[in-house]
Structure 1
Amino acid sequence: MTDTLPETREDLGALLARSIEIDAADATPRYIRLANALRLLIETDALGTGAALPSERLLAGMTGLSRVTVRRGIELLVREGVLEQRRGSGTYVLAPVERFEQPLAAITSFTEDMLSYGRKPETRWLAREYASPSAQEAMTLGLSPGDRVLRLHRLRLADALPLAVELAIVPADLLPDLSALGTSLYESMASAGARPHKALQRMRACALPEFEARLLEAEAGEPALFLERISRTVEGRVVEFTRSHFKGDRFDFVAELNLHRET
């Protein structure tokens, strides 16, 4: 634990100024760039746990940003649990937040993953309804004209902490009774004889859309992870098309790789 800043306050100011240099091609809001620069200093231990940040006025002078921009950048990190503001004292670096590993090599449910971490999973339903599929959904699920889907839009939490917003689309004939749907979609699908056997997943970095940001208690435009999954049964039928936004500061997606040797 340390209560010191990088060598001098001037060094900190230079580091931050370089990190947020204005680039005409970069449309990222300046307060987010400041937050990213501070976060990097914290993650690399240039600012250790317990370190006190300079005042907003000093940070504004160091970086050439307005005090409003500096305040928004700090507030963003406070919401993330990276910084703590103590009334009458200042702003301090908190101990690193716990991150969750999300396996990419196996199909697991959010509920299973959180229980494995000893966390209490929770689901808040945003929508749970039968509907006509979009063109993309119909094509992905291999549906015929007139087929309907079950649209499941959920906020996923662990120990009351919002972690992900998930939209799952399932052919309606697999789960025709909403009352039989439990907290785990995969358990309900298994009971219907349609548990996913394999899946294709695509993941990319993204900026949080405004709707998902509100649900995740974040700022629109914050770094996030977008995951798209298309799951099939052992017979090859597509039974799930899911798109999820994950908080970027809470998840590490991991996969075990094997060395491919040519013979």
Structure 2
Amino acid sequence: MEPDDQITLFKPASWLRPARGPRYEQLYRHLSASIASGTLSPETQLPPERELAEIAEVSRVTVRKAIAQLVEDGVLEQRRGAGTFVRIPRAKMEHYLSKLLSFTEYMLQRGKTPTSTIINRGIFHPSPDEQIALGLSAADRVARIERLRMADGIAMAVEWSSLPQDILPDPGVVGTSLYDVLRANGTAPSRAVQRITAINLPASESRLLDLPENTAVLRIDRTGFLPTGRPVEFTRGLYRSDIYDFIAELRLEQNL
């Protein structure tokens, strides 16, 4: 975009409307729409905060709030010593929910190299959520593993997996794939139930996923069952919504 075109884009006549909300919200919506439409293309550098405030005829606080929200949304990137740029959108991966696949299997199917970093693991008393999902009492024990899941070196998700201690006596044997260990032991789930929820990313996980705090992510709770119906795996994961699209295929039931 030419400099003169940027000036026109940021002028109040292009975005400010009476009774349409606070100025920072209107500026935020205008910039967001300009990025989505391609008017502000990837790698476009925005004017410095002071200059943008002068062009838009607003305070620097107004500009700062609008820019901060767009950075949180993941569409702008602030580079130290360089400025603010429109981010290059990542290609999303479509994850179909009709098959029970581990993270490792899913990434390998797509030609990516999966890796895992163990954050914490051990044998613990089950939490209330684990007791409900796995049908355990407070006196039981669970093997718990917290992992950062990556593909081709990019942080994709943080997962917490919990299993009854008799199913996984030693969580230390788990490397990249938990399901490989369970299959070797004959205790891998044959079906699972998943619940998907949108949440704001907590500060601790934002550092692991290299995302701003409170970024919208997908939380998936999965309970895996043996053919006998016994629940043997409860995994809670936080997945990057800028990378994942979860897809479910629906079929119309025929009247019998």
Aligned ranges for residues 100-111 of structure 1 at < 5 Å? 100-111=93-104
Residues 1:138 and 2:125 aligned together = no
Larger Rg: 2
Residues 1:227 and 2:220 aligned together = yes
Residues 1:69 and 2:65 aligned together = yes
Letter in 2 for 1:69: K
Corresponding residue for 1:240? 233
Give, in whole Å, the separation in 1 of the partners of 2:99 and 2:216.
25
Residues 1:98 and 2:82 aligned together = no
Corresponding residue for 1:9? 9
Give, in whole Å, the separation in 1 of the partners of 2:112 and 2:13.
39
Residues 1:213 and 2:206 aligned together = yes
Gaps of at least 5 residues in structure 2 are none
1:137-191: CA deviations, max 9, x gaps?
1122012453210011111111221111111111111111334323101111111
1:109-158: CA deviations, max 9, x gaps?
11112222222211111111001101231122012453210011111111
Residues 1:174 and 2:167 aligned together = yes
Q: 1:244 to 1:37 in 2, by over 3 A?
A: farther
Give, in whole Å, the separation in 1 of the partners of 2:33 and 2:122.
42
Residue 65 of structure 1 deviates from its aligned partner by 5.7
Moved more, 229-238 or 142-151: 142-151
- 1:56 pairs with 42, 49, 53, which one? 49
Normalized against structure 2, the TM-score is what?
0.81
Q: 1:13 to 1:56 in 2, by over 3 A?
A: farther
Give, in whole Å, the separation in 2 of the partners of 1:186 and 1:143.
21
Q: 1:258 to 1:65 in 2, by over 3 A?
A: farther
Corresponding residue for 1:152? 145
CA RMSD of aligned residues (A): 3.4
1:214-242: CA deviations, max 9, x gaps?
21122221111111111111221101111
Give, in whole Å, the separation in 2 of the partners of 1:174 and 1:107.
19
Corresponding residue for 1:27? none
1:73-99: CA deviations, max 9, x gaps?
46557xx575475966x5443432122
Contact 2:197 2:219 (8 Å CA) reproduced: yes
Contact 1:208 1:224 (8 Å CA) reproduced: yes
Moved more, 159-168 or 60-69: 60-69
Q: 1:81 to 1:120 in 2, by over 3 A?
A: farther
Q: 1:185 to 1:91 in 2, by over 3 A?
A: same
1:177-212: CA deviations, max 9, x gaps?
334323101111111211111111111111111111
Corresponding residue for 1:190? 183
Gaps of at least 5 residues in structure 1 are 24-29
Number of aligned residue pairs: 250
Give, in whole Å, the separation in 1 of the partners of 2:87 and 2:208.
24
Aligned ranges for residues 83-94 of structure 1 at < 5 Å? 83=77, 85=79, 91-94=84-87
Sequence identity percentage: 34
Normalized against structure 1, the TM-score is what?
0.79
